[in-house]
Structures are given as C-alpha cells and as structure tokens.
Structure 1
Amino acid sequence: MRGGRVNRLELTGLTARPSQVWGGVRLVPLVREAPVEGLRLHREVYEGLGAGIVELGPRARYVSYIPHGLVADWSGGDGTDPAAGRRSAAYGTQFGGDDAPRAVPLPALPHHRMARRRPGDRLRFLPLHLALEGYLALHFGGPSTAWEEWSRTALRDGLSPRAEDAYLGRSVRGLADALRIFEIHPGQCGVMVYVSDALAAAFVVPHPDDYRLLHASLVEDLYGELVHQYALYGAPVPRVPVRIGGEEHIRDLDGLRSAARAQERAWARAHDTLFARELLDSSYAFDRVYRMGSFTLWRFLPPFVRDSGGQHIGETITGHKGQVAYLKTFRLSDAQIRRGHLLRTLAGADWELDRAAAALGSDRRELVRRLRAAGFSALLKGGVRDCPHTAENRRKPR
C-alpha cells in the first residue's frame, strides 16, 4: 500500500441500460461504447471449499472465504494472440458445493499477499478482499497512547483478531435467478446490483468478453448483512415502465429508433440521479495497492459518516486519466459504519476517551457504552465502567 488520496468515483464511459427486475433484485446493466484498451481480467479458480488463508506479512494472516482470484493482464493481448494474450481473457465459471449462508471453514493452503505479481505483465489479486482487509485493518494497531483505560491486550495487540460477517451471493434470495435469467447486453462491461432498491454492489470490468465470463461469479461474491436481510424480508420491487414516443406519433422505423434511444438516455439519467448517487456522491479515501504500467489498483474506504445512507468499501483499477477499468464494491451494514466511525473518532482524539466523547457530541459514559455495544469491550480494562474520568488516568507514552 503506497500513497493515498481523497476523491470520488467516476464511471465516465459507462452508460446504464434499463433495469432487469426479478422479485426484490434489480440489475442495472452498464455498457461501454468501447472496451478499455490495454487491460484484461481473467478468473483463477481455487480448489477446495473456497476458504483460504492470506499471509499478509511475517506475523499477520487473514482468514476468509476466497472462491477465486482475478488476474489483471496489461501485456496488451486481446485474448486471441497465442503469444501476447493467451491468458488475457476470463475463462470459465465454477460453482462450489452446497448453498450455505456462510462458509468459513479452516483453509489448508495459504495465499501469499492480497496482490501478487505474476510472470509477465500480470497481477493476481483477491477480489473484494483488498477492500475488506483494508476495512479490517482500520486503526488495527489500537491505542497509540497508553491511557490507563485501555487494557494490556489492546496496547500489545491492538484490534487483533478482528472479524466481520458476510453472506455468499447464493444466499441472497433472487440473485442467482436474476443473473441466470436475464440476457447480457451487447457491450456490457458491468452491473449495479440492487436489493429492495438499495445498492448492494457495483461490478465493472474493462472488456465485454471479461464480463460475459465473470457475470455468473457474482453469486460467489460476499454481500453485507443488510443486503441479505433486504432480500429475505423485502417485498418485490416495482418495475420501471418504459414508454416510447409518449404523445408523439411514430410513423416509421427511424422515428421508433430515435424514440427508443431517447428513452435509453432518459433511463440512464434517472438511474444516475435516483439510484447510484450514494455511491457516486460520496468522497473516499483511496490507498494505492499496485501500479501496473499505465493502470493503478486502488482500494478505498468511505468517510464513515453516520446517518448518510449506504456506504461502500471497494477496490478499483483506473487508467492514467482516472477512467475506471475495474470496480467491485461491498455495502457496509449500519453496525459496520458505526464501528468505522468510532475507530476513526478515537484515532483522531489520540484514543483519549474524553476528547473522543466531545468529538462525538456525547459524554464519557455514553462513549464507553457505545464501545461495548460495538464489540470493543476487550480494548477496555475490566474496571472501566461508566465512571467519570479522574486525575489518576494519566497519559503514558507507548
């Protein structure tokens, strides 16, 4: 992870097509007028049950469900030249065993790093896990100052271990059927997945051939708790009516074609205005993971602002002009947003409870309660309850 910036996501060059509705799931196809030149993605399938260990460093490991990896190829091959681009296209789709809401058995073989260079101009990375590991590592080191309220474990090990729950796409009711039933548009390079009209995920690739062969892999992705609940308990979403022509009289095929294109443009504007705003209007903290020629792989985190609607973590590959070639996002639950907000506030206050409470507009007692409710009880000493701060609680450098 090198470098960083704060910016917005821009899906320039991608156009939304009319939505495809199946029960509570709405798919919005994204098409490109022309593929992104110089980059292709293919899928690397792993044997076993899909769980794995990722060795992040000499003493750090990440354990999660990992059904497949993606290999980014910027060698310039188009997938047809046996010398330059033999492995540049995405190959195959493989489904695992029994459907299960969660599958995190102990893995046997480790993966080395979230992103690892392969021979030639290729990089293997684990889709979504770059983003999830970035969220789990948020202020992972714990208190930077040895205030007396923090436990020895917190000062020694920080937030280790840190765990979050996620659900497989197969357990999101209606998603597998929607992906199977609806046709893929010509030029389609991505999709926005909505559940009960809440944005669940965005997925974008550089080339239509890559998307065609990675489309079904969305059921193997991870989705947040809120998405799973919306799919399970939500009602079917309304279809968006398409009316061509309106009060105008269409007299020939040219008129029909013109009216259809006008309706497509109207739908694209409506989607960008009504549906995708929570993803596109938010500012993100981007961390650079790897530079690949003229492309850069980033992961990003939201501002963790409470009561601001849905917030997403994710990863993206951009070109030198900032064009999004690849994108995959994960919608955080309200509880995950609250945990991120708490950790950022604590770090900003140098982990001093009184200062953090003031920044949150509450008092020390309420902050302690919120820390325990968020699952951070192990960070606090056992004797820290709702008592007010005393003069004996002095700062000690670590």
Structure 2
Amino acid sequence: MNLTGLVAGPPQVWGSVRLVPLLRPEPITDLRLHAHLRGDNELSIVDVTPRTSYIAFIPHAFVATWTRDGSPAAAFGTQLADADATGEPRGIRLRFDRRMARARRNEPERLRFLPLHLALEGYLALHLGGPSVAWQDWSARALRVGLSPRIEAAYAGTWVPGLDDAMRVFEIHPDQCGMMLYVADALASAFVVGHPDDYRALHPTLLRDMYGELVYRYAVMYDGVPEFRARIDDTAVSSPADLRAEVARAAAQWHTFHGTMAAGLPDAETSTVDKVYRLAPYTLSRFLPTFDPDRENHIGELITDGSGRVAYLKTFRLSAAQARRGHLLSTLARHDWNLDATATALGSTREDFVGRMERAGFGALLRQDVLDAARAARRRPPRINRRR
C-alpha cells in the first residue's frame, strides 16, 4: 500500500483495543467522503448481474412476507396471527440497489458504494463460476450453477467487546485521516480517508463496519494489552535542541515498531487488485490476498490517485477458515479444477483433498459417489506389507 503522506501518531489503548491514528499533514481536498446512513431497520439487496444478487441481512431474518403497501420486507422469524388481524408483521424494510458502486442519479461526479461490502462481494465471487472443465468428478449442479450461493459470516462492530467504549473515549487528532485498529495486537482493520473533516464525520461508522471472527474472539479472550510509551533519555538532554533530538528519536522508534505491526497489510506482491470504478483522476478498486495460510489475509477496497497514493482504504481481516476456503478455490482454479492435480500440488492424496473440500463447505460441488469413495478410503486402515 502506498501510504505516502500518512504518519503514525501516538497509539491509544482501551482494554484489548489499540488504535494507532494516521495523520496527514497535507490533506486531500479534491476527493471528499461522507456517510449516507440507511437506518438500522433496512436490509440491502444489490443486483450485481442479471442472475446474481448480493444480500446483506440481519441474522435470523428471512424474506417471508410483503407489506400492505407493496414494498418488500423481511420478517423477524415465524409469526402467527388471526386471519382477520390488522397491521403488518414485525420486520425490516428491504432496499434494492443496482450495483455495489454506482454514480448517483443526475450527479455523475458523486459515487455511492457500500463500504466493505464491495470487498466482501469480491471474496464471495471468487471463482463463482465453478469448474471450467467438465470433469466427471463434479456434480451436474456444480457444472450448471457453479458455487452459488456463497455465504460468509461476520461480526458487527457493536458486537466486539470494548470497541464501542474505545471509539467513544479515543482522542481524535487535528490532522487525523485514518487509523489502524488492533485487537489483542492483531491487526483487525485499516481505515484511511483524504481529509480530517471526513474522518471526524466517519469515525462513528467504524461501529457499523464488519469484523472477522478472529477479531471478535480476541476481544473476548484478552482483557488488555501493554502500552508502549515513548521514553526520553533525560541524561542526554541539556538543551532544547537535545530535547528535540530525543523526541525525534522516540518518534522514529515508534514509526519503525508500527511498521512491523502493520506488516500484514497486503502489497503489490501479495494481493490481486480489481478496478471497479474510475473517478478521474482517482480509481476505486478492491483487492484480494494470495490466501497464504501462513500469513495474515486481508481483503479490502481503496481509492488511489494517478501516482498510486491511497486516498481511501478500508480492510477486513479474514479468519483462518475463510483464508483456507480461498486457498482451496484458488489452487483448484490454477489446476483447471482437476482433483488429482490439485491434491498433488497441495501435497496430499485425492481422498484427503476431497475431505478438505467437504470440511470447507464445498462438498455439494462433488458427485456423491466421489464423496463416498473418499470417506471409505479414509476409514480403511493402512496396508502393511510383511515379509517372511
């Protein structure tokens, strides 16, 4: 990430939450962001393509009824009522959008997009078409409709213990244009905008963002993290110039330490960037990691200028299970969805790889006889050759 122009400020700690402010001495003035809040009682359905929709909904809600005025709604579970009962079932209104990123009507210079949902859609659409080759191992459904539908779970910021208090008590610096959010010193999210006024307006929306399973579990398991305070060597200070030198040295040490903590952010070598919309001279893109099981995996979206400098950034850390699913799909696609070739590339047998597919939730893609044969082979005891 080209974070040129951003400087890490002094960190703040509340319980297990550590926030590192990102300061921008020279703000970006020709690209501004503001929130368009939809309300807590609405559900969004986005038509991605004529045959594909992206749905983000409140847990335990089902599209079960229509309101009396003809507008769609999602009911809160099953509800029983008398046949002559008046009124509408308790539920939430549905909103339909045409795309994740769309220019506003009659305002071509304004773009509406759903934060983080743009990035999550890219992850859910990973190799959505399924097998490109009609191998006999794949079910007819997989060849016909691919991986649809894909479902992933996330936690709202209000569910992460301590995050709401941290957002309320943390100080916002005058030049702050972003932050790095750590939970139990694991990088949970990065958020960057171009102007300090935009950050002040969007700071509360961090509680509306989605966070991965790892972030939630760390917030529950750990009560606190140590504070890293800059220390001034008073024995080396005998003049204002010495004090300035000591402050600069302490700041340089913190910047180096912060760079180490943020090393898990993706870069050009560990991510795949998909350009979504052009806002000349800016470009809205989303990125996916390489799904390396041995390192952090972040998805996200960003707006960059012509030189590649980041004007907007928001990231989501995948859980280990989500990274493994992405790793399986990416490896399958690289080997033309051939089970034997993919198993060899992963250093396992065909039976073990089929088991991994099943545990990852992709068992429905395979034919039933393939699943049964793999299960039987895994239950069969190893054969021992004995010599007399």
Q: Pick the TM interval, shorter chain.
A: 0.7 to 0.9
- For 2:250, the equivalent position in structure 1 comes to 263
Checking the alignment, whether the CA contact within 8 Å between 2:236 and 2:242 is kept in structure 1 is: no
Deviations 1:251-288 (A, max 9, x none): 44x6544433432232112111x200111556210010
Q: Secondary structure at the match of 1:43?
A: coil
- For 2:51, the equivalent position in structure 1 comes to 59
Relative to structure 1, is the Cα distance of residues 168 and 229 closer, same or farther in structure 2, using a 3 angstrom cutoff?
same
Deviation at 1:57, TM superposition (A): 1.8
**Alignment equivalent of 1:39, drawn from 20, 31, 47:** 31
Worse-superposed segment, 319-328 or 118-127 = 118-127
- For 1:82, the equivalent position in structure 2 comes to none
Checking the alignment, whether the CA contact within 8 Å between 2:273 and 2:285 is kept in structure 1 is: yes
Deviations 1:14-39 (A, max 9, x none): 11112101110000000011012411
Name the structure with the higher helix share: 2
Deviations 1:52-76 (A, max 9, x none): 111112121111159xxxxxxxxxx
Checking the alignment, whether the CA contact within 8 Å between 2:266 and 2:298 is kept in structure 1 is: no
- For 1:370, the equivalent position in structure 2 comes to 356
* Count of residue pairs brought into register by the alignment: 339
- For 2:61, the equivalent position in structure 1 comes to none
Alignment of 1:1-398 (within 5 A): 9-65=1-57, 108-118=94-104, 119-252=107-240, 255-272=242-259, 274-280=260-266, 283-308=270-295, 310-385=296-371, 387=373
Query: How far apart are the structure 2 equivalents of 1:13 and 1:63?
Result: 36
TM-score, length basis structure 1: 0.82
Query: How far apart are the structure 2 equivalents of 1:206 and 1:50?
Result: 29
Report the residue type matching 1:379 in the other structure.
L
Report the residue type matching 2:253 in the other structure.
A
Query: How far apart are the structure 2 equivalents of 1:107 and 1:307?
Result: 42
Deviations 1:309-362 (A, max 9, x none): x11000000000000000000000000000000001111111110011011111
Relative to structure 1, is the Cα distance of residues 246 and 368 closer, same or farther in structure 2, using a 3 angstrom cutoff?
farther
Checking the alignment, whether the CA contact within 8 Å between 1:114 and 1:125 is kept in structure 2 is: yes
The ranges of structure 1 where at least 4 consecutive aligned residues each deviate by more than 4 angstroms after the TM superposition are: none
Cα RMSD (Å): 1.7
TM-score, length basis structure 2: 0.84
Query: How far apart are the structure 1 equivalents of 2:266 and 2:23?
Result: 17
Report the residue type matching 2:46 in the other structure.
V
Worse-superposed segment, 321-330 or 145-154 = 145-154
Checking the alignment, whether the CA contact within 8 Å between 1:10 and 1:280 is kept in structure 2 is: no
Query: How far apart are the structure 1 equivalents of 2:332 and 2:37?
Result: 40
Report the residue type matching 1:363 in the other structure.
T
Identity of aligned residues (%): 54
Deviations 1:121-155 (A, max 9, x none): 11111100111000000000111111111111111
